[in-house]
Structure 1
Amino acid sequence: MAPNGYRSSGYGDDGVVDGKTEEPKYGSDEKLGEEIEKGPSVGAGSSRKLPFGDNDGMYATMMWWMAGMIMIAETISLGILSLPSTLARIGLVPGIILILGLGILATYTGFVIGQFKLAYPHVHNMADAGEILAGPIGREFLGGAQILFLIFVMGSHILTFSIMMNVLTTHGACTILFGFVGFIVCLICTLPRTLKNVSYMAIVSFMSIIAAVVVTMAGVGIEKPGAGKIDVTRQSSLYEAFEAVTNIIFAYAGHVAFFSFISELKKPEEYPKALFLLQGVNISMYLLVAIVTYCYAGIGVSSPALGSTSPLLQKIAYGIAIPTIVIAGVINGHVAAKYIYVRIFRDYFNAPERMGQNNLTSIGTWVLIVTAVWFIAWIIAEAVPVFNDLLSLISALFASWFTYGLSGVFWLYLNYGRYRESKKKMFLTGLNATIFCIGAAICGLGLYASGTAIHSDASSANGSFSCADNSKSSS
């Protein structure tokens, strides 16, 4: 039977272990262990600290719709630009089925993350969750994976920024310089320390990507560069098929930051509203943009999709897309930097009160962290110059677990010892075990696919740290 706090919050009783009927105290960690009986162990994270200690009131300031807008801005960005080319690789019908099916599954796995967060209010990131699952080893493993994933995503935004600048200027300068400009712009925009401030930028980001894809769809609809040549189904090699799957997964790869978003909600129990807002917009937009763009641009559709129109419309679309190219990357950069920031003050120095101070130590530490993570992201963007290959590598290595596989583990941990207590529970046990297996399969096969693609593209790509035009706008 679930605690009342989960049921009244819309979380049901399918993901929570037996416990008393008191509601969880979200504003305090007092007697957490007595309120909700956990799985086999709580791990080293049993200190029960709230993510920001005494500064929780300073950081936990978002309304659910603010969180929803941030989640939309983080998720609906670069991933949507690769979906039309995904349909070109595997065919229209298989592509639609995968976009819809993986979207529904991502909604459920995001819901499970919310259940885990409510059971353990001190969890701020995947590292905290890993500590609960497997102690210090789990903490460092998932923490390192989270940072790597976020930095790779940040790198993909810098790469897209350089493509955008090449399109707008018709390759007016060295691509490395354009990437460095993107690094500086993103760094500056990541300097605000709270997500509430970032949430207002997220609204601009969402409007930006909507306008950019509308321009793109209108452009290909008028110009019809594909002349109606599409494949309803298409025979693909193994690596082509799995590269397409990993591109779709990347489009739903916001889960890695969900713990951080929930931690800065005024009312964490309202998280499902933000999740359903995100996924409703996600799935609808992905299907619309992928189908319309592919049907008009045809089998030769570009990735990113903004490159499928005429040179003039490309410039217009990329110009409109500048906010989302920057802001969606900034959100990932903020989450990465915040993870390190919290670890330093909360765990290493045991001084969480410093996180909210406006002194040289606190602000200086934040600036140094932000600079470091964006500099590493810039290096990655220059090292992997092919957009689709970078997305596939990120998705296979990280998104397969953060979006799917790990959520199955979270549910199985929360419900340890209760797998056969009812038919519903047995069904959910099978579902979450399957989700774990799906994550493992995508990771293994996706790494093979992305590695093969990177190898095959090595000779045709411009190469790492190249001044050459990565948008082909000057050709």
Structure 2
Amino acid sequence: MADLEMASTTRCDSDLGKASTSTNDSDLGETSTSTVASDLERQASEPKRLGPKKTAGNMTSATVAIGVLAIPYAFAKLGMIAGTCVCIIDGIIATYGSEVVVRVTLDHPEITSFAGAVGLLWGKHHKIGCTIALFMVIAYLNMLTGAHALFGAQSFGIVFDSPETCDTYLGVAAAGILFLCALTRTFHDFTWFSYIGLSSVISTLMIGLVGLAVKGIAAQGGTSNWSWGIPADTTWESGIKAAVAILFAFSWVTYQITFQNQMKEPEKCVKSIRILGTMCTFVYTLTGALFYWLAGDSVASLALLSVPQPYRRAAFAVAWPVIFISGGLTTILCARSFLDQVFPKKQGRYSRRVWILTDAVLTTTAFVIAETIPVFGALLGLMGSLFVAPSTCIVPALFWFMMVKKGRWYERKNLMDSTVFALMFMYGLFLMSGGTYVAMKTIIEESSKATQEGRGPFSCTSAEYRRVSARGMIL
């Protein structure tokens, strides 16, 4: 415990922090000497402007957009009952675990990111743990930005219906819009965009459901085939992949500390998380059940692709705000996580010049990675297994047993929580190991297929975008 207390007083970038006290060893130091830059810094780094409702709105916009349209496909693999149960259980796990993370950060107010919190678990080796976690957070958020760029490009192709247009150009346009959406440096100023994004995703889902309902009414058999139980064609691998996809959609714990740092009353972040958890669980369960009921076992891995025309085109057009707002918000989270952890004492780290440069580098990197990796969707699934499962289930459980729990685990006051977090730990370990195996197998198979089909980076084939984005957990 003494090691944990010592670790909590430092950062994983302590050497960088010492170097950052110099005002003439970098461009950042020169920026902080300017009066204009100082004014911008005070405006952009204000941490006490968010209330619990605005925090919940921003977090919901960032979270719901990640995987809501992958949920129906997961239902098709798990069945109606199992899909509903997994959604509800994952929602409870994510909410319960996030509350423990809040308790840890309140006890250690110097923590500015999820990576810093993970470093506490490593004791005297906190720098190693923090650095590994920071790399994973940046990689995860950056890949999500790339996924939004691909999905934005696909939506352009569907809405404009212009097969002669190179999809790489559409991807560049999508990345440019994501860059512009990420120019806002504070979540307080981004709140109204988040509300627009939430309205967009709700409208998109409604249009999709109406289109499927009309299709079902027009069909002789009414609604499509669906199953209460696990379908007969569901394999162990497809079941694991579906379970990971659902948990992926509840992965807000990786960036909740970044939002919490800008709250007027950080202790009220628990209220925001409960609102977020309730909304996400309700939306995911309802979306998965209704799309699966209407589209049946043939529902696409990206649910909107199951919607008939012209409803599909309208749904993708209405989805533009949530695609780009959520993608821009993901870039903001990535940038703030990086700057806060690597340059904690730099007064100019949020100046306009530094922010634009960081935004440009992150957006460009995300787009290039998404374009150059033929198996990007499978790689995103691997990230979900290696990072999302541990961060959502395993890390909160370790926080409980190592830092939050008072007394013995088997004492009456701790027995219930200890049992819950032990089960949560085992659940996360199961999804991490099983999901990693399935994702690695998928990557090998898809790599071989990509080589045979001659799929290369920056190719002008809309089919490639459909394959990549349909397999990833994007919207």
- Shorter-chain TM-score category? 0.7 to 0.9
| Two-structure CA RMSD over aligned residues (Å) | 2.6
- What secondary structure does 2:310 align onto? helix
Determine the C-alpha separation between the residues in 2 that align with 1:469 and 1:280: 37
Question: Residues of 1 paired with 2:374 and 2:70: CA distance?
Answer: 15
1:405 aligns with 2:394: yes
Q: Determine which of 49, 60, 76 is the counterpart of 1:72.
A: 60
In the alignment, what sits opposite 1:46?
9
Distance 2:362 2:260 in 1: 23
Superposed displacement of residue 227, structure 1:
4.5
Corresponding position of 1:228: 224
Shifted more, 182-191 versus 380-389: the winner is 380-389
2:383 pairs, out of 382, 394, 397, with 394
Query: Could you say which residue in structure 2 is the equivalent of 1:158?
Result: 149
**Equivalent residue, structure 1, for 2:428:** 439
Aligned-pair CA distance for 1:420: 3.4
Whole-Å separation in 1 of the counterparts to 2:336 and 2:214: 45
Confirm or deny: 8 A CA contact 2:72 2:299 kept in the other structure.
Answer: yes
Distance 1:424 1:40, change over 3 A: farther
**In structure 2, which of residues 363, 379, 395 is the aligned counterpart of residue 374 of structure 1?**
363
Residue 464 of structure 1 and its aligned partner are, at CA, apart by 4.4
Q: Secondary structure at the match of 1:58?
A: coil
Aligned mates of 2:399, 2:454 — CA distance in 1: 42
Equivalent AA in structure 2 for residue 245 of structure 1: A
1:306 aligned residue:
304
Q: Please point out which of 190, 196, 202 is paired with 1:198.
A: 190
Question: CA 1:137 to 1:391, structure 2 compared with 1: closer, same or farther past 3 Å?
Answer: closer
- Amino acid in the other structure paired with 1:115: R
Deviation at 1:419, TM superposition (A): 2.8
- The structural deviation recorded for 1:391 is 4.6
Question: 1:426 Cα shift?
Answer: 2.6
Q: Per-residue deviation at 1:60? A: 2.3
Letter in structure 2 aligned against 1:148: A
CA distance in 2, matches of 1:300, 1:187: 35
Match of 1:59 in 2: 47
Q: Which residue of 1 aligns with 2:316?
A: 318
Q: Which residue of 1 aligns with 2:28?
A: none
Deviation at 1:119?
A: 1.0
Contact 1:77–1:209 (CA under 8 A) maintained in structure 2: yes
- Report the Cα offset of residue 472 of structure 1: 5.9
CA distance, structure 2, for counterparts of residue 453 and residue 152 of structure 1: 18
Q: State the AA in 1 paired with 2:154.
A: I
The alignment status of 1:144 with 2:124, answered yes or no, reads no
Other-structure match for 2:85: 97
Which of 450, 460, 472 matches 1:467?
Answer: 460
Q: Distance in 2 between matches of 1:130 and 1:43?
A: 14
How many Å separate the matches in 1 of 2:135 and 2:150? Answer: 22
Whole-Å Cα distance in 2 between the matches of residues 221 and 113 of structure 1? 42
User: What per-residue deviation string (whole Å, max 9, x for no partner) do you get for residues 55-101 of structure 1?
Assistant: 59723211111100011101111301011111112222211111111
Identify if the C-alpha distance between structure 1 residues 307 and 291 changes in structure 2 by more than 3 Å, giving closer, same or farther: same
Residue identity matched to 1:309: V
Residue number among 201, 208, 215 corresponding to 1:209 in the alignment = 201
The equivalent residue for 1:246 is 244
2: CA distance, partners of 1:329 / 1:462: 29
The residue identity in structure 1 corresponding to 2:247 is: I
- 2:122 paired with 1:122: no
1:32 matched residue in structure 2: none
One-letter identity of the residue aligned with 1:338 = R
In structure 2, the partner of 1:290 is 288
Query: Aligned-pair distance for 1:439?
Result: 1.9
Taking the aligned partners of 1:450 and 1:57, their CA distance within structure 2 comes to: 39
Question: Secondary structure of 1:228's match?
Answer: coil
Distance 1:94 1:327, change over 3 A: same
Q: Which amino acid aligns with 2:174?
A: G
Decide which of 109, 113, 121 is 2:97's aligned counterpart: 109
Distance 2:406 2:413 in 1: 15
Aligned residues: 425
Distance 1:386 1:282, change over 3 A: farther
Partner of 1:268: 266
State the TM-score, normalized to the length of structure 2.
Answer: 0.83
Q: Percent identity?
A: 22
Alignment equivalent of 1:133, drawn from 111, 121, 124: 121
Asked if the contact 2:410–2:418 (Cα under 8 Å) also holds between the matched residues in 1, the reply is: no
Does 1:175 find its partner at 2:167? yes
Instruction: Measure the CA separation in 2 of the matches of 1:283 and 1:152.
Output: 24
Provide closer, same or farther for how the CA distance between residues 300 and 80 of structure 1 changes in structure 2, counting only shifts above 3 A: same
Aligned-partner SS, 2:149: helix
CA distance in 1, matches of 2:196, 2:148: 16
Amino acid at match of 1:468: T
CA distance in 2 between counterparts of 1:287 and 1:416 reads 32
TM-score of the superposed pair, with normalisation by structure 1: 0.83
Q: Deviations over 1:233-257 (max 9, x none)?
A: 2142221111101110111111100
Paired position in structure 2 for 1:7: none
Name segments (4+ residues, structure 1) moved above 3 Å: 53-57, 383-391, 454-458, 460-464, 470-473
